[in-house]
Structure 1
Amino acid sequence: MSTKKIRLSVLDQSPIRKGATAELAVQETIQLAKLADELGYTRYWVSEHHNTGILAGSTPEVLIAHLAGQTKHIRVGSGGIMMPNHSTLKVAENFRMLEALFPGRIDLGMGRAPGTDRITASVLNPSNQFKEQDFIEQLADLNNYFHDTYEPGTIGAKIRAIPQVKTVPAQWLLSSSGQSGLFAAHFGMGFSFAHFINPNGGPENVKLYRERFQPSDDLSQPEVNVAIFVFCSEDEEQIKQHQAVMDHRFLQFEKGAPIVPLSYDDVKDQVYTTHEQERIRHNRYRVITGTPSEIKLKLTWLADDYGIDEIMAVTICESFEARLTSYKLLARQFEL
């Protein structure tokens, strides 16, 4: 087992717990960001999801501004901005403004999925064609906006992303497949693999990203982290109950059933078919749970498998206190 120092970060989707409100979910995000800052986590990313009743995070660019103002040291960013939903110029200006306010602390994590269903995505951006080439062009345009490098005589050369600032936010591509890893390598961006979405093929995709990486003005060496669902507790019964809720939540999502906040009481008497049990076994690779000593061993194995030194923990659980405790126990185990 590796003895290298592992950095920990947070991906927060602002989950709405059963019986709670969206307002409370946002307040919990603020409280968790402050705690992560105090504990020594590396970065804190917030997500973009739309038309869902279980996640309150829809506008990371707004939330980032508040979180960065409430914290002192931790990097704050998006996990991610779903680029097909947005004008590239507006993304550039949002993040130039954030960089002006908090220079050297802002991450722009980007994805090519809409973060919602197709109907909602078409309303967010009626011109969205869901084409891969459109995403590639957005990445090229973003680089030009951040560095003011449009070719003279082009339309882009007539436009400046305001405010004009000297620093550029760190740029990352988020993906649960290898394709965006290749884009990240081509544009010289960081790569974040979403193991919590797809537990297959990650190490191979990260290896390919490293092999194909082309240094950019913003990043001279490949930089990678891996995001995974994590839950740590000293109470083994709490761990068992958490896993049962996650098992059912994944099945809800795969079936296209209404996604609603769950408690252990909602799922404890569920009887699953043989096929559902197979899906549960598969989906458990998306989650790492355990007591403090177990969790350190499992996460270190994951880091070794990927050849990385940063893990981004996604923790959604029934109790906010249990969520805070999980992040505290992780920080202690990894001596942040």
Structure 2
Amino acid sequence: MDLSQVKLSVLDQSPVRKGVTANQALQETVELAKFTDKLGYTRFWVSEHHNTTSLAGSTPEVLIAHLAGQTKNLRLGSGGVMLPNHSSLKVAENFRMLEALFPGRIDLGLGRAPGTDRITASLLNPSNRWAEQDFIEQLVDLQHYLNDTAEPGTIQEKIFAIPKAETIPPMWLLTSSGQSGLFAAHFGMGMAFAHFINPNGGPEAVKMYRDRFKPSADLSSPQELLAIFIFVSEDEEKIKRQQAVMDFRFIQLERGGSLMPLSYEDVKDLSYSPAELERIQYNRRRTIVGTPDEVKLKLIALLHHYDVSELMAVTITEDFDDRLQSYKLLAKTFL
């Protein structure tokens, strides 16, 4: 693979580290955006999560506005706005405003998952039925609002999303399965595959998306990227500690427990059942952790397997400087 063709991007969830406040976590996101902007990364996307103390990013549209004002070259976007939680019209106006303020630098990434538990999601949008057809209708409406192309005779024809900008933010669908990839192909949107959520079926989903892609007013040809947990370090001890924390995090998620901020000291002496050890080995497929040379070889193989040229790194560390250093070492490898 020609490494000069690989684009590197960031998905940041504003993790709240142990002993750190949510305010500090958000300031770290700002610092990371400035840092990766200088390193030459392509995109910096922020996520939407609710009802958790371990992640501080709840409103990507607000955070994007601040980050865009603090950086110069990065494309700022949502990874993503969880569309069933919101009105399509409000999402259109949020991102039209962002595009008007920062022309050509905004991405609208959309997800179908709630980004939280079902109870919280029902409070965010009491009319949410979690129905596939509702999501499809929201996508149709959103495209019409952004492009001013509502069908004649519909209610949407009388409604205009403001402000009207000269450019339109590209729309991406986030997926960890093939279903949303098919929606992305049908509507002519970009596709971001979340390998960090599901390490199975990604290459097949990307191929299906390409094969079925229909050009739209926004996108003339398929555009895809791959997102994965990555940690790069030259310190073997830090690699070991990072892997141990990530192993426990995944088990904690699968147990349905509360995701409290934690450190290596909290997990170093834990023992796991045979079933949990099996899950740990499975979940390690969602991550690439190691020295620069090790990570480079694994990522090249993964990019070949997916046949994509844009990699979006998700990095959460116990120490913020290690997070910065990981992105720096990754950039040295590919940029």
Instruction: Tell me the TM-score normalized by structure 2.
Output: 0.99
Q: Deviations over 1:264-289 (max 9, x none)?
A: 11111111110000000000000101
Indicate the residue corresponding to 1:76 in structure 2.
Answer: 76
Alignment-mate amino acid for residue 10 of structure 2: V
Q: CA deviation at 1:152?
A: 2.3
> 1:11·1:45 contact (CA, 8 Å) conserved in 2?
yes
- Which ranges of structure 1 fall in alignment gaps of 5 or more residues? none
Alignment-mate amino acid for residue 112 of structure 2: R
Q: CA deviation at 1:49?
A: 0.0
Alignment-mate amino acid for residue 128 of structure 1: N
Alignment-mate amino acid for residue 190 of structure 1: G
Instruction: Work out the CA distance in 1 between the residues paired with 2:8 and 2:152.
Output: 43
1:182 equivalenced with 2:182 (yes/no): yes
- Which ranges of structure 2 fall in alignment gaps of 5 or more residues? none
> 1:4·1:309 contact (CA, 8 Å) conserved in 2?
no
Indicate the residue corresponding to 2:109 in structure 1.
Answer: 109
Residues 147-162 of structure 1 aligned to structure 2 (within 5 Å):
147-162=147-162
Residues 136-147 of structure 1 aligned to structure 2 (within 5 Å):
136-147=136-147
1:306 equivalenced with 2:283 (yes/no): no
1:25 equivalenced with 2:32 (yes/no): no
Instruction: Work out the CA distance in 2 between the residues paired with 1:157 and 1:226.
Output: 36
Percent identity between the two aligned chains = 70
Indicate the residue corresponding to 1:91 in structure 2.
Answer: 91
Q: Deviations over 1:219-265 (max 9, x none)?
A: 01100001000000000110011000000000000000121111111
SS across alignment from 2:45: strand
Q: Which moved more, 1:50-59 or 1:144-153?
A: 144-153
SS across alignment from 1:183: helix
> 1:228·1:286 contact (CA, 8 Å) conserved in 2?
yes
Indicate the residue corresponding to 1:315 in structure 2.
Answer: 315
1:274 equivalenced with 2:274 (yes/no): yes
RMSD between superposed Cα atoms in Å: 0.8
Q: Deviations over 1:143-172 (max 9, x none)?
A: 100111112222111100000112100110
Q: CA deviation at 1:3?
A: 5.0
Instruction: Tell me the TM-score normalized by structure 1.
Output: 0.99
Alignment-mate amino acid for residue 256 of structure 1: G
Alignment-mate amino acid for residue 307 of structure 1: D
Q: Deviations over 1:88-135 (max 9, x none)?
A: 000000000000000100000000000000000000000000000000
Indicate the residue corresponding to 1:213 in structure 2.
Answer: 213
Q: CA deviation at 1:6?
A: 1.0
Instruction: Work out the CA distance in 1 between the residues paired with 2:232 and 2:98.
Output: 33
